Chain A
Amino acid sequence: MRAPFRIIFEQRSETPKYLAAFVPLVSVLAALIAGGLFLMATGYSVSETYGNMLSDGFLSSSGITDTLGLSTVLICTGLCAAFAFQMNLYNIGGEGQLYLGMLGGAWAGLALGPHLPSIIAVPTVLLIGAGFGAAWIFVPAFVRSRLGTSEIVSTLLLTYIAASVLNHFVYTPNSYFRAPDVSFPMGRAVSDSAQLSAIGDTRMYPTFFLIVALALFLFWVVKRTEFGYRIQVISDSPRAAHYAGINARRTTMQVMLISGALSGLGGATLIVGEFGKLDQGVLLLGYGYAGIVIAALARNNFAAIIVSGILFSGLRVGGDKLQITTDTPIHIGVMLQGAILLFALGGEAFRRYKIRAVRMQAVAQ
């Protein structure tokens, strides 16, 4: 009698170091393979499509600078998601906080910009954008920290309201934010002093370097400061935090506000950067939602978010260009993002479990 095999999941006592980098890489590869199968099934050339994406997203000089340019906002929303996730706070409303950041940035650019020199106007726009993002998460943060109300629901629902707010200011005739003398509803350009110029011939703005520096700074904050220590204690064992006299409510509040501010900052980089005005086009781009995937792929590691943000940005840039240069639908890029998230989450199982096939009931005779 042959004993049948069965698959067992065996919990790892320790996750090997190499898996930390290996799993996200495999997730991306697996997503590419899944996407490739889809391309084949629908009659497109896999090698040609991926080749184009690779060259348009990463290898060509315009491709890589476009990618780094777009990654600026994506790293912001990735940081936003990760900053909350690391303390088991699920702020999935980064999208809405981004809209508010854009609104705040546009207001600062329109109202204060004309009176300020560029060196002050640009930081002002960024700070006010971040402040608006934080303000938008204030109510979810408050009710979460005081009453334990689920931030998942509240932040998500506020995103729909944020979209309406943004539309309101762009569409309403005579709105402060709307471009006058144009029949088509569009935002009014902020003053020149509040806008940065792109680097050379590219679509990349100096804010990219600022945001990369910010990501590294946050990495340091979490690893080395008392604030980061507190976050770690609370996320691991709230009861230990209570025991040690750590104020979890206040820290929850702080973490959520910073999270919102990071998305708001992302919105403001669009004002000082490529948009230069309040633009309803942002509602279709899903930068805030992409941040969730970026954070998940980087496993909430702030330094790794720089890499996953750039990777995602490249997929989008490459995917968008496919539509222009070939007849491949733009959605392949979006589909790959979704697939990466699924595989990255599924890959967690491999980090935590060893998967083995064993024979049933080995019997000594």
Chain B
Amino acid sequence: MTNTSHEVVKGPHHSGDAAPIALSAHSITKRFPGVLANDSVDFDVRAGEVHTLLGENGAGKSTLAAMLCGLYQPDSGYLLRNGQQIALSSPRAGLQHGIAMVHQHFRLVERFTVAENVVLGSRDLSFTLNRKTIDEKVAAVAESYGLPIDPQAIVGELSVGQRQRVEIVKALYQGAEILLLDEPTAVLVPAEVEKLFENVHAMTAAGKSIVFISHKLGEVVEISDRVTVLRGGRVTGHVSGRGSTDTKELARLMVGRDINLSTQRASHATGHEVLQIRELSLASEGVDILSNISFNVHEGEMVGIAGVAGNGQRELADTIAGLISPTAGTISIGGAMTTDRGPIAARELGLAYVPEDRLGMGLVPSMSILDNLLLTRDRHIVVDRASVRPEANRLIEQFEIKANDADHVARKLSGGNAQKVLLARELSGGRAATKLLVVCSPTRGLDVGAIETVRRLLDDARSAGQAILLISEDLDEIMSLADRILVLYRGAIVHETSGEAAQLATVGAAMAGLKTEGAA
């Protein structure tokens, strides 16, 4: 078999029903232990269109995409490429048929240049690399799709958006006609998303097919020619026509019921300062991670920390929780200093902490819900599980955790239920009644139904007078929940605004370091 990259997709008639079907999947079924990930799913994508796979986490969209590009093989069902049946035993086989996936987590060698990364894995390389030729070829491919990129730049020095562009150029260089983009916007700031969508349009204009995988309704409506909605491994709906769909309808198809994600911002006056941070700095191995941060969080107030991942958010949360000692500055909770006193001292002053990493940090995966409740509490020398069990059962009921009983192992909980267990433990207090809740990316990876619940729980906690520090990469979440927004960029607070006055464009620009995309 030779590759099909020489195949010509004709001219400007790239949209509409006239374009031929480039790739189709027919009654695809894939089963994993205990899960029917795809249940006779049909899907097709035409040349020159954007066809979105929309669904909650666990709906089976990534599984389907993995089978479309050869990463997994279906248990039953088949694929047609330009009407011909194909069997993809590996991603390389997929590539030979012009199908490539751009993964959510990039697979790039950080120390290599852009061009080196792009040609990595190509089979037509000579033994010695002629850098000049390669650089020119890579630049030519990139430019022809309006993806400006410096072939000689070191990947490790590029922004996330630029790295994603390298991945896309790599797929195009390898002759991809069909690109599967797996949650491509999850890691991008708003300006980068806009740029990505421009690139997507340039590619479809050139006759490429894009399979766009997402669970964010707004962007799906904006970018898609057609949308296929998956729920529980099955197709629950097809919608076509760009912009003509309303998000409520898509949400209903996705979740199976009506959803309300809007929350009431606190209207009541906020109380005393609960968390006080003064001139906090943290350096590690000579690198400044946090520099000179000062802010307060009051009773009944939710302060949101916005920022692109890796700008010090995780370290800020860990420092407040007493897991890391700052290089300089002070932290106090309820007026008492907690700097350098460790996590237990902070908890005794009313700290609760929901880390970003639920299983593995917040929860012990092999342990039961009951034992996980004990994790941040005072345990006696002989652990008295019997006395905790009634409380565990009460929390399971109160937080609507779907579990057989308190002995249900954390690993076997869904993402949403694991998060509920974590919130149940942290909100119900342990060593002291909870005064301050530090919560990181509380809804990341959760399905819409669980997002709704988690946001309601945070809202309730705020109404109950707890101070909340919400750290999230999801700007929409922060914009809709927080009373006050601080933007963290390279470890410093670069922007502050009230929740009502916040402008998406301004906050987005601050997240990107006040530079517009492309100028970098």
Contact = CB atoms under 8 A, between A and B. Distances in A.
A56 B355 CA distance: 59
12 contacts: A10-B33, A13-B412, A226-B381, A232-B364, A233-B364, A233-B367, A242-B323, A243-B343, A243-B375, A243-B376, A245-B343, A364-B78
A226 B33 contact: no
Nearest to B381: A226
Interface string B358-375: 001111111100010011
Nearest to B343: A245
A224 interface: yes
Interface in B77-130: 77-78, 85, 87
Interface in A327-342: none
A240 B362 contact: yes
Most A Cβ at <10 Å: residue of B26, B321, B364, B380: B364
A183 interface: no
Nearest to B431: A245
B37 to A, nearest CB: 13
Contacts of B364: 232-233, 236-237, 240
Given A242-B323, A245-B347, A362 B367 contact: no
Given A226-B381, A226-B383, A244-B343, A12 B361 contact: no
Contacts of B236: none
Interface string A14-26: 1000000000000
Most A Cβ at <10 Å: residue of B361, B365, B412: B361
A323 interface: no
B75 A362 contact: yes
B505 interface: no
Interface in A211-238: 224-229, 232-233, 236-237
A240 B380 CA distance: 19
A240 B73 contact: no
Interface in B289-338: 321-323
B412 to A, nearest CB: 8
A364 B27 contact: yes
B383 A244 contact: no
B342 interface: yes
* 8 tightest Cβ-Cβ pairs between the two chains A and B: A245-B343, A245-B344, A13-B33, A13-B34, A239-B361, A226-B379, A236-B366, A244-B375
Interface of B: 26-27, 33-34, 73, 75-78, 85, 87, 321-323, 342-344, 347, 353, 355, 357, 360-367, 371, 374-376, 379-383, 412
A224 B34 CA distance: 31
Contacts of B85: 363
A274 to B, nearest CB: 36
A242 B342 CA distance: 10
A42 interface: no
Interface string A263-290: 0000000000000000000000000000
Contacts of A232: 364, 366-367, 371
Contacts of A236: 364-367
Contacts of A237: 360-361, 364-365
Most B Cβ at <10 Å: residue of A237, A244, A363: A244
A250 interface: no
Contacts of A239: 357, 360-361
A232 B362 CA distance: 15
A230 to B, nearest CB: 9
Contacts of B360: 237, 239-240
B501 to A, nearest CB: 35
B347 A224 contact: no
A255 B321 CA distance: 27
Contacts of A233: 364, 367, 375
A194 to B, nearest CB: 33
Given A240-B375, A245-B344, A361 B73 contact: yes
Contact of B78 (A11, A14, A224, A363): A363
A240 B383 contact: no
Contacts of A229: 371, 374, 379, 383
Contacts of A226: 379-383
Contacts of A12: 33
Contacts of A14: 34, 412
Given A236-B364, A243-B353, A363-B78, 8 more contacts: A13-B34, A229-B374, A233-B364, A233-B375, A240-B364, A242-B361, A361-B73, A363-B87
A168 interface: no
B33 A11 contact: yes
A354 B31 CA distance: 14
Contacts of B87: 361, 363
